[in-house]
Amino acid sequence: MQARTQWTAPGGALGRLVDRARERVAVLGDEKTWARRAANTPSGPSFAGALDSDTVSVIAEVKRRSPSKGQLNVSMDANERARRYAEAGAAALSILTEPSEFGGSLQDLETARQSTSCPLLRKDFHVHPVQMFEARAYGASAALLIVRALGPDDTRIMADAAKEAGVEALFEIRDDAELSWALDAGARIIGVNRRNLETLEMEDGVIEQLVPLIPSFVHAIAESGVSTRPDVERVAALGADAVLVGSALSVAPDPGQAVSDLIGVPRSAVRD
């Protein structure tokens, strides 16, 4: 894996999902209207604050399907799932709101907000500032910014929009250049994704290379490929503060027990 020196628009699955996100943005309506709605929505609990712990925090995800794995749990009740995750000790929840290939919706975010006091991450393909206000209006504490989808300039624009909307940004990266762009945009929460969202392939070495490079003042999250307690222990040794677990928890017949099996792994001081 080598860092890029300049950004090119994404192709493959990520490019397709970005295009669909832009189509949804086109019918969202006036940004000022969404800004007013966001301003009238009570702020959620701090996402970053929930990751301040002596143990590796578990961010549990509500995900019905995905482009890489197909159907996972299409009949999932987001309200019930969120409640079970929270009761079992999840530090925060990730709610997929992308409808076309993940089966998510903003209603899932809204109902999860009603069923739990955990901070919620809106996980979607965010490409326009209006989506940050939309996320806040539906109860999100944080929103995902995929740096590969945005490039350095739009990453900064979206980071500024998140601040204005009152949501925290989780910057997702996969190489050195994206790490630099995220830090330049003021990142305080960075997720490292093993999955290449263009090819949908899992790539070894990404988390091992990048997590140790994330500054100690930034929360580091390991994403994709985490399903067991040994997985959590492995990324903890690299300096991960948290893990985001999607598919393994979404298909678990007992979601509460599945979360309980992952929590309590001590954090490493390797990045301190």
Q: Is residue 63 annotated as a catalytic residue, yes or no?
A: yes
CB atoms within 10 A of CB 200: 14
Check 73, 94, 110, 123 and give the catalytic one.
Answer: 123
Q: Is residue 168 annotated as a catalytic residue, yes or no?
A: no
Distance (Å, whole) CA 214 – CA 188: 10
Check 66, 196, 224, 227 and give the catalytic one.
Answer: 224
Distance (Å, whole) CA 143 – CA 187: 12
Distance (Å, whole) CA 250 – CA 267: 25
Check 98, 134, 178, 223 and give the catalytic one.
Answer: 223
Q: Is residue 79 annotated as a catalytic residue, yes or no?
A: no
Query: Rounded to a whole number, what is the distance in angstroms from the first to the last CA of the chain?
Result: 25
Query: Which tokens hold the place of 118?
Result: 């955990």
Check 57, 61, 227, 247 and give the catalytic one.
Answer: 61
Cα–Cα distances (Å) from 94 to 82, 113, 240, 245, in that order, read 9, 11, 17, 9
Write out 69-133 in H/E/C secondary structure. CEECCCCCCHHHHHHHHHHHCCCEEEEECCCCCCCCCHHHHHHHHHHCCCCEEEECCCCCCHHHH
Q: Is residue 61 annotated as a catalytic residue, yes or no?
A: yes
Check 110, 172, 196, 227 and give the catalytic one.
Answer: 172
Check 66, 115, 141, 193 and give the catalytic one.
Answer: 193
Q: Is residue 172 annotated as a catalytic residue, yes or no?
A: yes
Check 57, 63, 134, 196 and give the catalytic one.
Answer: 63
Q: Is residue 203 annotated as a catalytic residue, yes or no?
A: no
Residues with catalytic function:
61, 63, 123, 172, 193, 223-224
